[in-house]
């Protein structure tokens, strides 16, 4: 299938790119997953992209745990946990994305992360236990295609955690990735970017939000090359000022 990433991605930047649709669990090699493209920048000439079919959009109660297809979106999963009085994914009420992308980057807010609820993942058709997935801050050791997950069932939806995470929502109105950079140890990417004069700064048709410096936004008609240049500029300024090498949270497919 063809996907126009200027319409499909959350940042609304990209072109018309061929994407393979995966219908069954199998050991696919060399594919780069698109998901819902919420924290993704795709080059116009990007190759080997893939997306899961609707076969992987489901939630099944297995008794001791839940089995969830990796195409299931964050809000559907959050609503299931809330409606069934389950804890662990309260923070998803404030996040976009599909399960596959959420687990691969170990998405989270504050101290709450996907790794806290994952029992195992089906990767390339084989189940891998959580302890072997290499979860870290906004990262994992996952290699291959995530098709489905087994998630913990723990009673007691935590309304206070949900409210806490909702208070952190400050997404700009213009198309955005969400967070552009990971927070470095003991500091915040937004603070560093603001300190070097990048809050509200623009380069061509993209820029950093005046609301939160770590949100890279499309000001209208933004291009892939402009984003790459702005990210490079931000990393250079922060490193020159603080000696800190910022790491992208956004995934870039060249």
Is residue 209 part of the annotated active site? The answer reads no
- pLDDT tens-place string over residues 189-211: 999 999 999 999 999 999 999 99
In DSSP notation, 55-81 reads GG--EEE-SSEEEEETT-BHHHHHHHH
Catalytic residue, chosen from 116, 138, 226, 237, is 138
- Over range 24-39, report the average pLDDT: 94
Give the mean model confidence (pLDDT) for residues 14-35. 95
| pLDDT level of residue 168 (50, 70, 90 thresholds) | low
Is 249 designated active site?
A: yes
The rounded distance, in Å, linking the Cα atoms of 228 and 245 is: 16
**Domain 56-164 and domain 170-252 have a common topology:** no
Verify whether residue 179 is a known catalytic residue.
yes
Catalytic residue among 113, 179, 209, 248: 179
Domain 56-164 class, CATH top level:
alpha beta
What's the predicted TM-score (pTM) here?
Answer: 0.90
Q: Which of 242, 238, 161 is nearest to 197 (CA)?
A: 238
Question: Which residue among the candidates 90, 113, 226, 249 is catalytic per the annotation?
Answer: 249
**CATH class of the domain comprising 170-252:** alpha beta
Domain ranges across the chain: 2-54, 56-164, 170-252
pLDDT in tens, 102-137: 999 999 988 899 999 999 999 999 999 999 999 999
Contact 10, 177 (CB under 8 A): yes
Q: How many CB atoms lie within 10 A of CB 190?
A: 22
Please compute the mean of the pLDDT values over residues 239-249 and round it to a whole number: 98
**What does the pLDDT read at residue 170?**
65
């Amino acid at each position: 299938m063809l996907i126009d990433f200027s319409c499909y991605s959350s940042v609304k930047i990209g072109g018309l790119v061929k994407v393979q649709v995966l219908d069954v669990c199998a050991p696919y090699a060399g594919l780069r997953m698109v998901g819902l493209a919420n924290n993704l920048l795709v080059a116009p000439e990007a190759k080997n992209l893939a997306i899961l079919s609707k076969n992987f959009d489901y939630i099944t109660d297995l008794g001791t745990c839940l089995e969830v297809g990796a195409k299931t979106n964050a809000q559907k999963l959050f609503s299931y946990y809330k409606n069934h009085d389950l804890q662990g994914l309260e923070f998803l009420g404030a996040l976009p994305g599909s399960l596959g992308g959420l687990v691969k980057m170990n998405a989270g807010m504050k101290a709450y992360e996907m790794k806290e609820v994952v029992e195992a993942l089906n990767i390339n058709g084989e189940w891998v236990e959580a302890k072997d997935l290499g979860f870290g801050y906004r990262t994992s050791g996952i290699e291959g295609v995530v098709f489905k997950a087994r998630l913990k069932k723990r009673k007691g939806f935590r309304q206070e955690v949900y409210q806490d995470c909702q208070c952190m929502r400050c997404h700009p109105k213009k198309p955005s990735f969400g967070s552009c950079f990971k927070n470095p140890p003991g500091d915040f990417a937004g603070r560093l970017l603001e300190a070097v004069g990048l809050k509200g700064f623009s380069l061509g048709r993209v820029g950093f939000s005046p609301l939160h410096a770590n949100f890279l936004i499309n000001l209208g008609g933004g291009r892939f090359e402009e984003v790459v240049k702005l990210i490079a500029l931000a990393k250079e300024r922060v490193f020159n000022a603080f000696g800190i090498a910022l790491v992208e949270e956004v995934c870039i497919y060249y």
